[in-house]
Structure 1
Amino acid sequence: MLRTAINQSARKFGTNVSSSVKCNRLEGKVAIVTASTEGIGFSIAKRLAQEGAKVMISSRKESNVKKAVEELQSEGLQVAGTVCHVGKAEDRKNLFEKTKTNFGGLDILVSNAAVNPVVGPVLDSTEEIWDKIFDINVKSTFLLMKESMSLLKCSKSPSIIIVSSIAGYQPFGLLGIYSISKTALLSLTKTTSEELALDGIRVNCIAPGIIKTKFSQPLYESEEANDAAMSRISMRRLGTSDEIGSVAAFLASSDASYMTGETIVVSGGMHARL
């Protein structure tokens, strides 16, 4: 009974977190958020805009971009959007060019795009699947960072935020290659943060736990999967994408001005250790 009461209190605390944003820490900043038309990416883009940033929305489908931009603009937020498949060089180039044209520069880059096209043991996967996951989850993040340098170096407070996963610390069963790719992003954060520190560019990372999104549905949609997930989460509830957006806003702001090379785990207490 005591455990039940504690669990109910934790769930109540999580669902009663106020969604109103009273901070204005990102006034005058310009941000790009990849894969930002739904889920975690959308919540990050929305929170950055709520705190005053001008945000470029992007994803692979034009209809999704249009819908997301219209929704955020209807709330009075300063956003624009463009189609961007992060694995395509011409799309990435267009993303940066449109951001500069629309907003004049870039201060914040959030690399959020990721794929997981297959479920199964690592050694049962094909080379093509391995390449696809690493091309999008890791290589494209590297290329976005590299191609953003000319704009970020002109910013007075440049920041890069990489979205990894708790799976980078504790691999999820049957999501092995995805988990490996997310571990690689932890290292990419550490390595590039040291290289870019002298340029004043901060590089930090967020490792979300099991967040209730369409992308993570297989981890909680069945009763068995949900029970397994809850057994690993101290707070006994799934996270929300807005709870990731708030951490991204912190990392992009001057409140995190002395932080670089760090990964913030947002997992409700799931164990995170390499």
Structure 2
Amino acid sequence: MRSLILTASFLALTVSRVVAQSTPDEFFETRIRPVLSTRCYACHSSKLAAPKGELALDTKTGLLKGGKLGPAIVPGNPSESRLLQALRYTDPHLQMPPSGKLADSIIADFEQWIAAGARDPRAETVVARKKIHENLQERRPNMDNSAALIRDLRQRGLLDETLVVWGGEFGRTPVSESGDGRDHNPYGFSMFMAGGGVKGGMTYGATDEFGFKAVENRVSIHELHATILHQLGIDHEKLTYRYAGRDFRLIDVFGNVVTDLLA
């Protein structure tokens, strides 16, 4: 049976994340942050010399601290959250955005988000999003270490039976937000694989012309898992784990082995 090392590789995949139900972080990144970024930051950003109403919505701290009127949101309590009141346009003196009321479906997303506790992952990534070039230079040696690992496995005759994988849970958008960095992107990102019976020296899949969304030979996370399990000699349809009273497969009910990747 092949062994698995989760670190780096040569085969590049363009992956599209497919989920049946979004996590709190994904809900914020796909339903809340884009609205804040496109409709609110022009007036309410910490990058401005004087944010309107002293309210900055581009950081978690600013959102909770609020402005002259107090906290913008009260996690778990939509009725006490001024941001939601402003979005609803119920108070003629408190209306956001000033250009016009948002769609009811968007306002409902904000109400759902606040009621669920207003999960905001930005505080966890703010450091990583600062000084992009410096961070990349700092982390580049890890790539060299990964290349050394692959060379060592090859020299020892172990690469064919060792699957090396390098990747993350999401990618980054092709545009920056407020100049500090790029947002989370679950719609198109890359994974790298080497050894373990996969084809080397190839790229599989591609994003659109903006680098935002996978459009060609899309590989979902479930399909990636199925392929990894297959290369480890495990039937992805039979491997299960017990959770919440029933047996789950790692790939749930989605995904097949991507045979185009196999040597």
Normalised-by-shorter TM-score class: under 0.3
Q: Answer 1 or 2: which has greater strand percent.
A: 2
Normalised to the residue count of structure 2, the TM-score between the two structures is 0.26
Q: Answer 1 or 2: which has greater helix percent.
A: 1
Normalised to the residue count of structure 1, the TM-score between the two structures is 0.25
